[in-house]
């Protein structure tokens, strides 16, 4: 168990790096293709700077990489195609690498502001977590209790002006502000790798739709759904194979009765 806890930060770090690689895969693939092409051209050309020898693979790749930044490693170029390369690569480097740097800067900025892009990248690193949909009164209480017990959570809230968004973010969980009925949003919340989804909004039909989508995307996930109508909750639980369909009013009633029949606190 201790070994698992020690290895977990490394696993999360690797998943985060993989998420960033997916985020910038276009720029990375194009940059890699340019370096490989440039390295091949350098590698087949004898260079006076190397006493007429051809460079090895690493040196050729270095020359191609530096060409993206308008740096000439072998001067002067020994062939016309290397002249063309040195003319085009700085422009391609400005477009490809510059766009990647700008996007990465925006990602880092959105991290500080708690915006969706950063939360989406972080949510993609989660495994064996709980997806919580809806950050109303009930959703926030569920979130607080899950975090108190050390359970990792990805939260989804449709309303960008929701009252409890700041409180949820203060708990340090990724919060996706988006419509949970969109499959892409459930993908961003890593529902395929989640252990449980708790759907706790005030819209019964939306809750049912999300529950069915989650089950379709991850047949092994435990599905818990809130319904205002207690009788409807019981019927839907059996009909749709939902693990736990509950009414918040029914859950609250026992707690209220417990308080009502408890001996009054002594005064004075």
d(C-alpha 63, C-alpha 39), whole Å? 7
> Does pLDDT of 11 surpass 80?
no
Where are the chain's structural domains?
Answer: 2-113, 126-260
pLDDT range class, residue 10, cuts 50, 70, 90: low
Query: How far, in Å, CA of 260 to CA of 7, rounded?
Result: 48
172: left (phi over 0), alpha (psi -120 to 50) or beta: left
- Please give the CATH number for the structural domain made up of 2-113: 1.10.287
pLDDT-based confidence at 3, cuts 50/70/90?
Answer: very low
pLDDT score recorded for residue 122: 82
Could you tell me the two tokens for 256?
């209220």
For the segment 102-112, what is each residue's pLDDT rounded down to a tens digit? Answer: 877 776 666 55
Q: Average pLDDT, whole number, for the chain? A: 83
In DSSP notation, 153-182 reads EEEEES-TT-TTHHHHHHTT--EEES-TTS
Any idea of the CA torsion for 40, 46, 48, 50, to the nearest 10 degrees? 70
Residues 192-233 pLDDT 10s: 999 999 998 988 889 889 999 999 999 999 988 888 766 666
CATH superfamily of 126-260: NAD(P)-binding Rossmann-like Domain (3.40.50.720)
Tell how far CA 113 is from the center of its chain.
Answer: 16
Query: Which residue has better confidence, 261 or 166?
Result: 166
Q: Which residues contact 136 (CB under 8 A, 6 or more apart)?
A: 162, 164, 200, 201, 202
């Amino acid at each position: 168990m201790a070994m698992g806890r020690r290895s977990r930060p490394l696993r999360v770090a690797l998943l985060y790096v993989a998420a960033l690689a997916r985020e910038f895969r276009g720029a990375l693939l194009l940059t890699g293709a340019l370096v490989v092409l440039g390295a091949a051209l350098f590698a087949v050309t004898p260079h006076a700077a190397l006493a007429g020898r051809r460079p090895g693979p690493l040196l050729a790749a270095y020359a191609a990489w530096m060409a993206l930044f308008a740096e000439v490693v072998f001067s002067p170029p020994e062939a016309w195609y290397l002249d063309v390369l040195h003319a085009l690569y700085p422009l391609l480097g400005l477009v490809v690498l510059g766009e990647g740097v700008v996007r990465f800067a925006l990602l880092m900025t959105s991290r500080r502001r708690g915006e969706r892009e950063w939360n989406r990248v972080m949510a993609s690193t989660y495994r064996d977590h709980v997806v919580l949909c809806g950050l109303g009164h009930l959703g926030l209480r569920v979130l607080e209790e899950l975090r108190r017990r050390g359970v990792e959570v990805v939260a989804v809230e449709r309303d960008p002006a929701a009252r409890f968004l700041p409180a949820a973010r203060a708990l340090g969980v990724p919060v996706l502000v988006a419509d949970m009925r969109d499959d892409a949003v459930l993908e961003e919340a890593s529902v395929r790798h989640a252990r449980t989804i708790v759907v706790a909004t005030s819209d019964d039909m939306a809750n049912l739709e999300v529950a069915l989508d989650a089950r379709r995307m991850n047949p092994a996930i435990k599905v818990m759904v809130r319904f205002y109508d207690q009788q409807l909750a019981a019927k839907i639980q059996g009909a749709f194979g939902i693990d736990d369909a509950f009414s918040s009013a029914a859950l609250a009633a026992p707690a209220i009765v417990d308080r009502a029949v408890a001996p009054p606190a002594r005064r004075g």
